[in-house]
Amino acid sequence: MMLRPFWTLCCLVAVDYGALHLLGRVLTHFLPVSLPLAWVMGLARMTVLTLGAQVVSSRPGLPPWLHGKPLLLSCIVLSLLVPSCVTLTALPFPQTSAEILHSWCHGHLFCCSYLVTLTSAVIWHQLFLPSDEEEEEEEESGSSASIWRLLALLRAYGGRFLLVALFLVLSSWGEMALPTYTGQMTDWIQSKEDPSIFWSTITVMSLITLSSAVTEFICDIIFNVTMSLVHTQTQGQLLHSILRQDIAFFDTVPTGDITSRVTTDTTAMSEALNHNLSILMWYLMRLVFVVVYMVTLSPKLTLFTMLCLFIVTLVPKLSGTFYQDLAVKVQESLSKANQVSLETFSNMKTVRSFANEEGECRRYEAKLQDTYQLNKVEALAYGCTAVANSFSGLALKVAVLYFGGRLVTNGEVSGGALVSFVLYELQFTSAVEALLHSYPDVRKAVGSSEKVFEYMDRTPQKPPPGVLTPSNLQGSIEFRNVTFSYPKRPDTPVLQDVSFTLRPGQVTALVGPCDAGKSTVVNLLLKFYQPQSGEILLDGKPLSDYGNQYYRRMVSVVSQEPILSARSLKDNISYGLGEVSLTSVQSAASVANADDFISEKPSGYQTGAGQKGELLSGGQKQRVALARALLRDPKILILDDATSSLDTDTELKIQSMVYDGARQRTVLLISHRMYMVEKADQILVLEGGQIKESGKHEQLLAQEGSYWRLCNKQLSSFQRRNGEHDL
């Protein structure tokens, strides 16, 4: 069964050979052997082959490059190959054109045309047509990184690259002109007719060499500076795109993976693009000038060189595809290792408290071992690729030299022209080898850039920002039948049909056991997530209708574990507000009961907080975070267990500040200490993602429900601790 497509294809070749002979005999009786005859036979042959291709394409089992449209295109190329060659060689080489016409039906020309067409079809499929796996990946991802996408990053610096191109042309032209003068010197040495030619040639070659070196120097400076700007722009765009993502993105994507994309991947992509793009530009321009000079010296040898070039380009395509896939695996392995190290450093106190330093080291070394195994495969692949590319370049060089020697033997080129052509041929093979070596590295850069462009192109999964910015915001918030599940656990609802109202000028306390959903309420109020059903209203309008910047200024939150950055205490308090006077910062810190301990430090408000505020105690961080929230003078203040690390005296002061200033704003107070919520205007009891009770302190105690049990449990725990203290 597997041999049927092969025999069908053989039958098509046999029919083509027989039809070609028959057409040749019939048409030569009516038309002379000339250029029109070649085109008539070519069109007639194309008709026969296209009909046969329709039959062959219907048979399963053919290779992808001999099926459907590729097969039809191959038949067209095969039919018009000889007429095109006859037309191109008719004027410059009439004798060669006549030889091709008279050898139309000969077996060697027939086989040669099939060989050229088949090779071209394979190369076209390998170089320009994506594989089935690549097409599936493009369909799944929606967009894929490519060389053209990488080059698109350079559009913003088009003027600079035009200047680079100008100096590149001048430098390449000067460098490639030297072999021509070398050939002229060879002819002078053989003839010795005019001694002045020698000195004039030496002078011209010296001037050309000097100008070529200067222009190359200027071109390198402009190019390297421009590529540094491109790298900086890419990293900035990537970070900007990541910061625009929804919170669910940061919940589902590991931090180490994001860090690896911003640092490792962008650096690898930019370095590979910088180095290999430079090689491609220089050697491609040199190749253009080399081909021009080679055509002027020997068109036949140039055509032979071009055919050899098409054949050897198949090697870097095959190795480049493997390199691209391997680069993705290596980057993913490095990302996993970075995630382990980042997690260890972030939780260093936990690691130290459990004495698990060796365990974390073993876990990190295991990830590095996986990367090492991939690096070994990458090293082996690089060695095989280098050998294959070197062999293909050597084969090209030997073939060109052999054919050139035959032309010299036949007397078709002179001695000086031969020397110039040999030098150009060496330049040609060097350029080809450089391009063959750089192509897999370019594909490797494409593999490294896939995640970079994936993050840059990702659309945040959140509604577009609103435009409402009212000047007289009241601050009334209403949860209306809200149901929500986290993206990591879509089947586990955290809030179920929750409804309540936060009224302006009042303190609403939200209490309940752990994992009841209190922090989820805060996350929804901060617009980190969107509820699956129901809606959240601010002054009667959905939260999504308000502008993000405006809403962030109106809502401030102080969490149980506030995060401070490695900057001064003044900058931490005024974070996100730009330049704020020291007086305003001190006023907010004083209200938050933080001015005392800050003023006692040697540097005062210029004291650094350390990484994540590690130079401050838990209570100090909470007071700094409270000052940061109060400095914005928000309409809505959320305190998520914000006094859990404070001593009793400080906590009572903060409690007094909250209740005394509640008339100016809407306050949501979340606390596990029941005495903090006794004075609240409204107490909501949240259990299992549902509001079980609501009312004031006395009312809820009288009901002897969930709130009563929470108070009794805390009272019993307090009495036990006091008893142990007395003992």
Q: pLDDT higher for 190 or 581?
A: 581
Rounded CA-CA distance 546/469 in Å is: 6
What is the reported pLDDT for 154?
73
Q: Tell me the C-alpha to C-alpha distance, in Å, between residue 148 and each of 155, 262, 277, 390, 462.
A: 11, 21, 12, 27, 30
What secondary structure, in 3-state letters, does 111-179 show?
A: HHHHHHHHHHHHHHHHHHCCCHHHHHHHHHHCCCCCHHHHHHCCHHHHHHHHHHHHHHHHHHHHHHHHH
Residue 131 has pLDDT above 50, yes or no: no
Residue 126 has pLDDT above 60, yes or no: no
Q: Which two tokens stand for residue 27?
A: 């048409």
**Which residues have a Cβ under 8 Å from the Cβ of 240 and sit 6 or more positions away?**
none
The stretch 381-389 carries a mean pLDDT of: 72
The stretch 323-352 carries a mean pLDDT of: 78
Q: Sign of the C-alpha dihedral, residues 648, 649, 654, 656? A: positive
Residue 344 has pLDDT above 50, yes or no: yes
Provide the mean pLDDT of the chain.
76
What are the tens digits of pLDDT across the range 261-300? 787 777 777 777 777 777 777 787 877 787 777 777 777 7
Residue 472 has pLDDT above 80, yes or no: yes
Q: Which amino acid does the sequence have at 265?
A: D
Residue 68 has pLDDT above 70, yes or no: no
What is the reported pLDDT for 102?
63
What is the reported pLDDT for 137?
43
DSSP string, 534-587: EEEEETTEEGGGB-HHHHHHHEEEE-SS----SSBHHHHHTTTS-S--HHHHHH
Residue 726 has pLDDT above 50, yes or no: no
Minimum mean pLDDT among 157-166, 233-242, 320-329, 605-614: which range? 320-329
Residue 387 has pLDDT above 60, yes or no: yes
What's the half-sphere exposure (Cβ side, CA atoms, 13 Å) at 329?
Answer: 14
Indicate the pTM of the whole model: 0.56
The stretch 698-716 carries a mean pLDDT of: 81
Residue 130 — pLDDT band, cuts 50, 70, 90? very low
What is the reported pLDDT for 141?
39
Q: pLDDT higher for 722 or 303?
A: 303
- For the chain, give percent helix, strand, coil, nearest 5: 70, 10, 20
What are the tens digits of pLDDT across the range 435-451? 767 766 666 666 667 77
What is the reported pLDDT for 197?
65
Residue 569 has pLDDT above 50, yes or no: yes
Rounded CA-CA distance 606/574 in Å is: 12
The stretch 97-106 carries a mean pLDDT of: 64
Q: Is the distance from CB of 496 to CB of 483 less than 8 angstroms? A: yes
**Which residues have a Cβ under 8 Å from the Cβ of 425 and sit 6 or more positions away?**
294, 301, 305, 397, 400, 401, 404
Interior angle at CA 669, CA 667 and CA 672, nearest 5: 175
What are the tens digits of pLDDT across the range 227-264? 888 878 888 888 888 888 877 777 777 777 788 778 77
What is the reported pLDDT for 142?
34
What is the reported pLDDT for 577?
81
Residue 354 has pLDDT above 50, yes or no: yes
Q: pLDDT higher for 534 or 150?
A: 534
Residue 681 has pLDDT above 70, yes or no: yes
What is the reported pLDDT for 196?
66
Region at 497 (left for phi over 0; alpha for psi -120 to 50; beta for the rest): left
DSSP string, 357-424: HHHHHHHHHHHHHHHHHHHHHHHHHHHHHHHHHHHHHHHHHHHHHHHHHHHHHTT-S-HHHHHHHHHH
- CA-based nearest residue to 72, from 91, 85, 53, 89: 53
Q: Which amino acid does the sequence have at 581?
A: S
Q: pLDDT higher for 526 or 380?
A: 526
What are the tens digits of pLDDT across the range 179-188? 776 766 666 6
The stretch 685-711 carries a mean pLDDT of: 86
Q: How many CB atoms lie within 10 A of CB 500?
A: 17
What is the reported pLDDT for 316?
57
Residue 502 has pLDDT above 70, yes or no: yes
Q: Which residue has the tokens 């900007």?
A: 240
What is the reported pLDDT for 91?
63
What is the reported pLDDT for 125?
55
What are the tens digits of pLDDT across the range 196-218? 666 776 777 778 778 878 888 88
What is the reported pLDDT for 711?
84
**Which residues have a Cβ under 8 Å from the Cβ of 467 and sit 6 or more positions away?**
545, 547
What is the reported pLDDT for 143?
35
Rounded CA-CA distance 454/449 in Å is: 8
Residue 680 has pLDDT above 60, yes or no: yes
**Which residues have a Cβ under 8 Å from the Cβ of 535 and sit 6 or more positions away?**
480, 481, 482, 542
Share of the chain above pLDDT 70, in %: 75
What are the tens digits of pLDDT across the range 595-632? 888 888 888 888 888 877 788 888 888 888 888 888 88
What is the reported pLDDT for 440?
64
